[in-house]
Chains A and B, each alone.
Chain A
Amino acid sequence: MPEKRPRYLDLLKIRQPLPAVISILHRISGALLFFPGIPLVLCSLDMALGSSEGYTRIQSFVNNPVAKLGLILALWFFVHHLCAGIRYLGLDLHYGAKLEQARLSSKVVVGAGIVLTLLAGAVIW
């Protein structure tokens, strides 16, 4: 029996090009940085500046390996959002708007996001 043609666009079955993946990751990371990112950052800053007990509590919490992995994941969201954002600023100024350049710069964004996260991870580990 011949394969049926898809009758609708299934986003999960379409292989998205890398610039599209970067774009949706920019959105997802942005939403997660808004929540729970912002309240967590403010809460930690409040505790760490408020008293020396609070500072110690944050410090011992971050020393937990699971919390450290979570922090590194959050850092990746931040760094990816930053790098992809810089790419969009370039595109606004018509830098790299051609297809080949756009594909290359999206690879650079993914790579820079991962490398910078690993570097930061090495520093905080």
Chain B
Amino acid sequence: MAKRPVRAVTGAHYGLRDWLAQRVTAAVMAIYALMLTGVLLVSPPQDYASFKTLFDNQWMRIASFLFLLSLFWHAWVGMRNILMDYVHAAGIRLTLEILVILSLLSYAIWSVEILWIGEG
């Protein structure tokens, strides 16, 4: 009996990475949400000046930026999964995926502007 060549069953190889990214980014966002809730409960900003002071803190900016980047990455994995499940026409799915990627990249640039550049 002739031996068949052994063929390894593999996927596209982004499965595990995305699965892990989905969970790590979720944990980052959950920690930030808890911290922000705590800050807002302990000292709720009373006016524009105190709200602005809260975000003048460099650590607050970095934490918020990490939260937002995690959010965008998390949203990409989630939206791609949803599109893969419900949109079966490859052309439409690709178009929607590109729209999601472009919007998330623009949000990332917008976040930098909001947190570090936007002054008045």
Q: Which residues of A contact B (CB under 8 A)?
A: 27, 30-31, 33-35, 38-39, 42, 45-46, 48-52, 55-56, 82, 85-86, 89, 92, 123
In contact, B23 and A55 (Cβ under 8 angstroms) = no
Interface residues in B24-76 (C-beta closer than 8 Å to A): 26-27, 30, 33, 41, 47-49, 51-52, 55, 71-72, 75
Let me know if A42 and B110 touch, CB within 8 A. Answer: yes
| Partner of A49 from B27, B71, B100, B118 at Cβ < 8 Å | B118
B47: A residues at CB distance < 8 A = 52, 55
In the complex where A48-B51, A52-B48, A55-B51 touch, is A38 in contact with B71 (Cβ < 8 A)?
A: yes
Task: Report the minimal beta-carbon distance from B68 to chain A, rounded to whole angstroms.
Answer: 8
A46→B117 CA distance, assembly (Å):
11
List, in ascending order, chain A residues with CB within 8 A of B114's CB.
42, 45-46, 49-50
Is there a chain A Cβ closer than 8 Å to B79's Cβ? yes
Q: When chains A and B are docked, how far (Å) is the Cα of A100 from the Cα of B78?
A: 28
Q: Quick check: B107 and A38 within 8 Å, CB to CB?
A: yes
19 residue pairs A–B, Cβ–Cβ below 8 Å: A27-B82, A31-B79, A31-B82, A34-B79, A38-B72, A38-B75, A39-B103, A42-B111, A42-B114, A48-B51, A49-B114, A52-B47, A52-B48, A52-B49, A55-B51, A82-B30, A85-B26, A92-B23, A123-B41
Report Cα–Cα, A78/B117, bound state, in Å.
Answer: 28
Query: A46 — which chain B residues lie within 8 A by C-beta?
Result: 110, 113-114, 118
Contacts of B49 in A (CB 8 A): 52
Main secondary structure, interface of A, reads: helix
- A residues less than 8 Å from B15 (CB atoms): none
Closest Cβ of chain B to A11, distance in Å, is 13
Min C-beta distance of A49 to chain B, whole Å? 6
Check if A89 sits within 8 Å of B26, measured CB to CB.
yes
Judge whether B91 is part of the interface by a CB distance below 8 angstroms: no
> Across the interface, which residues of A come within 8 angstroms of B27, CB to CB?
89
- Known contacts being A34-B78, A89-B26, is A49 close to B51, with CB within 8 Å? yes
